């Protein structure tokens, strides 16, 4: 079985539910509190590729930081968006669970069951 990682925010109920669901199914993921330890641009690119997402698809558009960072600017390149996601990790959707070859967003938490 592959090793799983979760970008986790312990204050988020969906993130806590997703982590609990993984554990109930025998998965002990590596927990990354991404607000304290944001992913690097290369890590974020890898996760986006595994999800098959463009950066905007992994953003929390209702967060104040989304507009503050200028992420609502359609002229930003993919690399610029990723750099801003690293600088403003609060805009990254949560939770994200991934392994070496697949990923899912835990909204709803049951989405991650397809990984295991």
pLDDT in tens, 26-47: 999 999 999 999 999 999 999 9
- The number of folded domains in the chain is 1
Confidence (pLDDT) at 1: 43
CATH code of residue 46: 3.40.30.10
pLDDT digit of tens for each residue in the chain (116 aa)? 459 999 999 999 999 999 999 999 999 999 999 999 999 999 999 999 999 999 999 999 999 999 999 999 999 999 999 999 999 999 999 999 999 999 999 999 999 999 99
| Catalytic member of 12, 32, 35, 50 | 12
Confidence (pLDDT) at 91: 98
Where in the sequence is the domain holding 12, given as residue range(s)?
Answer: 5-115
pTM of the complete model: 0.93
What is the 3 state secondary structure string of the chain?
CCCCEEEECCCCHHHHHHHHHHHHCCCCCEEEECCCCCCCHHHHHHHHHHHCCCHHHHECCCCHHHHHCCCCCCCCCHHHHHHHHHHCHHHECCCEEECCCCEEECCCHHHHHHHC
Using the Cα atoms of residue 83, residue 87, residue 91 and residue 94 in order, give the sign of their dihedral: positive
Catalytic residue status for 12:
yes
């Amino acid at each position: 079985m592959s090793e799983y990682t979760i970008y986790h925010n312990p204050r988020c109920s969906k993130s806590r539910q997703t982590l609990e669901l993984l554990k109930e199914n025998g998965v002990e993921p590596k927990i990354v509190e991404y607000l304290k330890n944001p992913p690097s641009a290369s890590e974020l690119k890898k996760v986006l590729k595994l999800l098959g997402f463009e950066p905007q698809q992994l953003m929390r558009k209702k967060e104040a930081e989304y507009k503050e960072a200028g992420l609502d600017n359609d002229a930003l390149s993919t690399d610029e968006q990723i750099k801003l996601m690293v600088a403003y990790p609060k805009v990254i959707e949560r939770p994200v669970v991934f392994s070496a070859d697949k990923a899912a967003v835990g909204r709803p938490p049951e989405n991650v069951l397809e990984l295991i």
